[in-house]
Amino acid sequence: MAASGRQQDNTSDTTAAAQSAQPATQDPLHGLVAAETAERIAAMIDAAPTMGHRLMQVVVSLRGNSFAQQVLNIAKAKTPPEGQRAAPRAQKPTAATGAAPKPYQPDDVQRKAGWEQIARAPTRADRAPSEVMLPDSVEKALEKAWQDSIAGGQTTEQGGNLVRTYGGRYELRRQAVDAKPGYTEGTFDPDERDIGWWDTLTAIVHTHPYNEPDSKTNGIDHGTFSGQDLASIIDEEQPLNLLRSGPYTYAISRTKEFNALVKFHENADTKDQLNNAMLKTFDEAFALDAGDFAAKLEAGVVAVCKKFHLNYYRGQGRNLKLVGSK
C-alpha cells in the first residue's frame, strides 16, 4: 500500500517535467530504478511483491540483463523457500533490532490474506496459512446464526451459504430450518444451488447447538464437525465449510490433494469407499480419545483431516488457527 502511494506521489511530482521535455521519465519506476543499487531494488521487491514484475521489467530495460540477474539473486536469497510471501516483512523488525529471532507470528494483514487464500479456492495442503482472520461481516453473520440457533430456549440448527459477491463482499444467505427441540445435529440440509447471480459459493455454513445438557453431550455446550459433516465434503466443491457452536467457529479448508483423492475415487467408481473410510477414521479416533464430548469430536476431525488431506481451523471471534494438518 505504502509503495503504491509513493508511486502515485512521484507521478504528480514529475508530471510537469515529463510533459515539458523528457518523456523517458514519465514512468515513476524509472526514477526509482535508475540510480539504485541491486540490494536496494531487491529490498523494494521484498517490501512490495505485487510490484515485483513491473519493477523487473524496468530494471531489464534500464540496467540490462546481468544487473537484473544480480537483483533476482539477492531477492531470491531473501525469500524463505516455503512460507507466505508476506513472511519476510514480519521478520524484518526483529533482524533490524538485532533481537533473538522469534517464531513466525502473522499480523492482521497476513491473517486477512490467509482468509482470502482459503476462501477463494482449495489450497495446496502444505501451503495452508497457520492463522486466518474472518471478515467482520462473516463473524457477525455467524454470531446471528448462532443466536437464532439457541433463541427461545430451543435449539435449532441453522445454516446457509456464504457467498463472495461480484464486488468481493461476503454475505451469508440463510436458509430457514424448522424449529425442533433438543439435540438437532444433522437436520440442516444444505442447498448448494442457493447463490445469486455473479456470486461465488465460498462456504457452506451451519451451527451445532448443543446447549441442552443430555446424555450424549454430558452438558458440553459446543462441538465441532461430525464424521458425516466431513464425509459430505466429498460431494461438495466450495473451498470451505464453516461451523459455529458455542463460542467457537470451526472451518474445514478443502485442498488440492483432497480434490485429487475425490477425483481418483470418482474415476474408480469407489466414492462410497472413500465416504466409509472417512466415517470409520472419525469413529475410531472419537472412540479412542479419553476427553469429553467436544474433545472426542475434535480428535475425530483431526484424524480425518490428517488422513484425507483437509485443513482444520478453530477459534473465537474473528481469529482462527490451524489446529489440524498441514
User: CB of 118: closest distance to Zn ion in angstroms?
Assistant: 19
Measured between alpha carbons, how far is 112 from 109 in angstroms, rounded to an integer? 5
Q: Among residues 229 and 257, whose Cβ is nearest to Zn ion?
A: 229
DSSP codes, 206-268: EE----S--TTTTT-------HHHHHHGGG--SSEEEEEETTEEEEEE-BHHHHHHHHHHHHT
Minimum distance of Zn ion from residue 273's CB (angstroms): 22
Cβ nearer to Zn ion, comparing 226 with 311: 226
Closest approach, Cβ 242 to Zn ion, in A, equals: 11
180 three-class SS: coil
Helix ranges (H only) for the chain are 2-20, 28-34, 38-47, 52-63, 65-78, 87-97, 108-120, 136-149, 227-232, 256-267, 271-288, 293-308
Amino acid in position 315 = G
Cα 116 to the center of its chain, rounded Å: 5
Instruction: Choose between 58 and 177: whose C-beta lies nearer to Zn ion.
Output: 177
Q: Which of 36, 148 has the CB closer to Zn ion? A: 148
Q: Under a CB-based contact definition with an 8 Å cutoff, are residues 19 and 60 in contact?
A: no
Distance CA 150, CA 135 (A): 23
Nearer to Zn ion, 133 or 299 (CB): 299
Tell whether residue 298 is a contact of Zn ion (CB under 5 A).
no
Quick check: 219 and 296 in contact, CB under 8 A? no
Nearer to Zn ion (CB atom), residue 171 or residue 229: 229
Greatest CA separation for the chain? 84
Closer to Zn ion by CB, 250 or 258: give it.
Answer: 250
Stretch that binds Zn ion, among 63-71, 227-235, 247-255, 279-287 (CB under 5 A): 227-235
Q: How near is the Cβ of 283 to Zn ion at its closest, in Å? A: 15
Q: Whole-number minimum distance, CB 182 to Zn ion, in Å? A: 15
Min dist. Cβ of residue 245 to Zn ion (A): 9
Q: In the window 207-226, what residues touch Zn ion (CB under 5 A)?
A: 226
Judged by CB under 5 A, the residue of 131, 229, 257, 298 near Zn ion is 229
Whole-number minimum distance, CB 185 to Zn ion, in Å? 5
Which segment (112-120, 147-155, 159-167, 228-236) binds Zn ion by CB under 5 A? Answer: 228-236
- Cβ partners under 8 Å of residue 212, min gap 6: 155, 182, 183
For the bound state, the minimum distance from the C-beta of residue 155 to Zn ion, rounded and expressed in Å, comes to 13
The residue of the chain with the least Cβ separation from Zn ion equals 229
Closest Cα partner for 84 from 40, 49, 36? 49
Stretch 111-150 residues interacting with Zn ion (CB under 5 A): none
Q: Number of residues in contact with Zn ion, rule: CB under 5 A?
A: 2
List residues binding Zn ion (CB under 5 A). Answer: 226, 229
